[in-house]
Amino acid sequence: MSKAYKKETLCVQAGWQPENGQPRVLPIIQSTTYKYSTSEQMGRLFDLEENGYFYTRLQNPTNDYVAQKICELEGGVAAMLTSSGQAATYYAIFNICEAGDHVVMSSTVYGGSFNLITCTMKKMGIDCTVVDPDWSEEELNKAFRENTKCVFAETIANPALVVLDIEKFARIAHAHQVPLIVDNTFATPINCNPFKWGADIVTHSTTKYMDGHAMCVGGAIVDSGNFDWDAHAEKFPGLTTPDESYHGVTYTKKFGKAAYITKATVQLMRDLGSIQSPQNAFLLNVGLETLPLRMERHCENALAVATFLQNHEKVAWVNYPGLEGNKYHELAKKYMPNGTCGVISFGLKGGRSAAEKMMDHLELAAIVTHVADARTCVLHPASHTHRQMTDEQLVEAGVAPDLIRFSVGIEHKDDIIADLEQALQFV
């Protein structure tokens, strides 16, 4: 938007800007194609000589308005939507890495990202070194190689709830002339803007708090525009040398600060096609309108639930960065002064079997794979989302075998606590 509005205003009003007589609400442009009157103009669009829509697999106006809103919330220069958070992670990395390259990744990232990067991308010839986010800069330095192309981490790790020292990671990435890519799904742009602290690219699973109602799988990538690809041109030939698959265009020359997102759109989206459906983008936009209200309530409720659990005799440990005394509380206060997220984790004195019994007796909180939505939900990662990992990998990822991931919703906190209280009686 032209004025520097606050995030609450951007959530409602950024993106679609209706002109006189146009619909107030973002329209769903449910069309795969766009009509032009001359074949010469269509040719110019294909040559990227002219701005315009030509096929929804590359770009769609509904999607672009929503991406614009997310871009403004993050304080970036360009953004795109993807069909899922997984696609966002994949595209964000693959846009600057190819076979023979190397990625440095935090050990505590979401299990799906861990699998994507250490298994699937490895099969594509992209190697990865897994690092402990709490390592010193000296230790982290050792993970870098000549062919390292980026660093990937999460602002608040799912489900380990490790808060990333973004400045430390940005410093180390930049010292090795590579960008820091941060998955900001759990904090959301309401609670943290990683660009302010030196991150270069942000990814989101919009499936989580942004949608907020467990309706649509989706993702987003936002570029800060701050990383100077040309200054390290030999490391990023995909951006700084002609793309033969696109009529010899050199993205940094032609698109400047929009180079990274333009390449991901016209090359990766064209070839791999993980577009978000305009219907889902419309619903995501509705979710975004209430994001600040929901995040405030998620954080307030999560703190109340974490405090209740901490004082319960059957609870062995509680992990919530919003709790005073938590290992990451100081980092959380620095990077997320208004709150972290609604997800907490805890373990019971009775261990894994007690966890399963307790979960089976919850009435309000449902056992679902999903996390970070309006309804309270619960999961046992070692048995569910992270079950592909070895015990060693689970420990590295900060996922204890008894860890219960409890995603506190926006119901009344008294009801959520009462539900936990009655379920704990069965343990």
Residues whose CB falls within 8 Å of the CB of residue 234, separated by 6 or more in sequence, listed in order: none
Q: Which is nearer to ligand PLP, 115 or 177 (CB)?
A: 115
Q: Which is nearer to ligand PLP, 134 or 183 (CB)?
A: 183
Both tokens of 348, joined, read: 């019971």
DSSP β-ladder status, 102-106 and 377-379: unpaired
Q: Which is nearer to ligand PLP, 120 or 147 (CB)?
A: 120
Q: What's the min distance (Å) between Cβ of 369 and ligand PLP?
A: 8
The label of the residue with tokens 């075998």 reads 401
Strand runs (DSSP E) across 158-230, as ranges?
180-183, 201-205, 219-223
**Alpha-carbon gap, residue 347 to 356, rounded angstroms:** 11
**Alpha-carbon gap, residue 244 to 224, rounded angstroms:** 26
Q: Which is nearer to ligand PLP, 208 or 413 (CB)?
A: 208
Q: What's the min distance (Å) between Cβ of 408 and ligand PLP?
A: 15
Q: What's the min distance (Å) between Cβ of 20 and ligand PLP?
A: 37
Decide: helix, strand or coil at residue 356. helix
**Alpha-carbon gap, residue 239 to 248, rounded angstroms:** 11
Quote helix, strand, coil % in the chain, to nearest 5. Answer: 40, 15, 45
Residues whose CB falls within 8 Å of the CB of residue 146, separated by 6 or more in sequence, listed in order: none
Q: What's the min distance (Å) between Cβ of 110 and ligand PLP?
A: 4
Q: What's the min distance (Å) between Cβ of 244 and ligand PLP?
A: 31
Q: Which is nearer to ligand PLP, 68 or 113 (CB)?
A: 113
**Alpha-carbon gap, residue 302 to 421, rounded angstroms:** 15
Q: Say if residues 141 and 323 touch (Cβ distance below 8 Å).
A: no
Q: What's the min distance (Å) between Cβ of 207 and ligand PLP?
A: 4
Q: What's the min distance (Å) between Cβ of 193 and ligand PLP?
A: 17
Residue in 13, 19, 21, 7 with CA at minimum distance from that of residue 66:
13
Q: Which is nearer to ligand PLP, 62 or 86 (CB)?
A: 86
- Residues binding ligand PLP (CB under 6 A): 84-86, 89, 110, 112-113, 154, 158, 183, 185-186, 205, 207, 217, 219
Q: Which is nearer to ligand PLP, 184 or 262 (CB)?
A: 184
Residues whose CB falls within 8 Å of the CB of residue 5, separated by 6 or more in sequence, listed in order: 13, 14
Q: Which is nearer to ligand PLP, 205 or 224 (CB)?
A: 205
Chain residue at closest Cβ approach to ligand PLP: 85
**Alpha-carbon gap, residue 262 to 252, rounded angstroms:** 10
Q: What's the min distance (Å) between Cβ of 105 and ligand PLP?
A: 13
Element (H, E) at 295: helix 291-310
